[in-house]
Amino acid sequence: MCGRFTLKTPVGRWLADLFPSRIPDQTTVEQSFSAELLRARYNITPSQQILVLHFNSNGSPIIDSMRWGLVPVWADSLSVGYNMINARSESIADKPSFQPSLIDKRCVILADGYYEWKKLSTKTKEPYWIHTADECVFAMAGLWAENRKIHNPLSQSKSTLSATIITTESNTDVMSVHDRMPALMLNHSQIAAWLDPTLNHVNSIDSLLDQLQPCARGLLQLRRVSTLVNNPANDENQLLNPI
């Protein structure tokens, strides 16, 4: 699973990394979101607002602020405790909470690392920060939904936009820590293929699912970090100091 992640990379850099040939205007992006959402974040937790990228029907990129933890369109209240922060790739096509989003509300969640906990005993777990060698930004495949019944108090929108991160089996880089990992999109081509609006129909489900595979071996690194990350209130660069 993926229950915490980081996005410390400056806006200008991840825009250039993800859109090498079609860079959205940096000033427009910065004016669209609060400074809190765009600052370096070292411990992003469920129910917080996150940066989510999806495409419109013309294939142009849209960046939105969404609640982490998918809220179904039929939910009447956030207080019910919806906590669909992850969706297993093997079952998203069959579950009514996810299948409609798989068809026409696919997205990616921006990150430059994520945390996972290695279970040592029934009471002890070691946290690890998992990242690429150069700590560059990447995308995690996701699904989003819009609930028009609920106003999100953390957003100016009258509806609640929310997203979930899709997970798959771990590759050999991270298998020693956990058996699940996010379905990663490491470059613009992979992102564009996943978000391609021409695939927004039921007949494309199989080809979409085929894209949700563990990333290639040797691309990710593990860094054991302090248990300070266990507390959602801690959100500073010291969390990434190696143990």
16: number of Cβ within 10 Å: 13
210 phi and psi angles, rounded to 5 deg: -65, -25
Give the type of residue at 43. N
| Residue 61 near residue 22, CB atoms below 8 Å | yes
For residue 51, count CB atoms less than 10 angstroms from its CB and return exposed for 0-12, middle for 13-18, buried for 19 or more.
buried
Residue whose C-alpha is closest to residue 184's, from 222, 133, 220, 134: 220
| Dist. CA 77–CA 151, nearest whole Å | 9
Known catalytic residues are: 2, 116
CA 227 to chain centre: 22
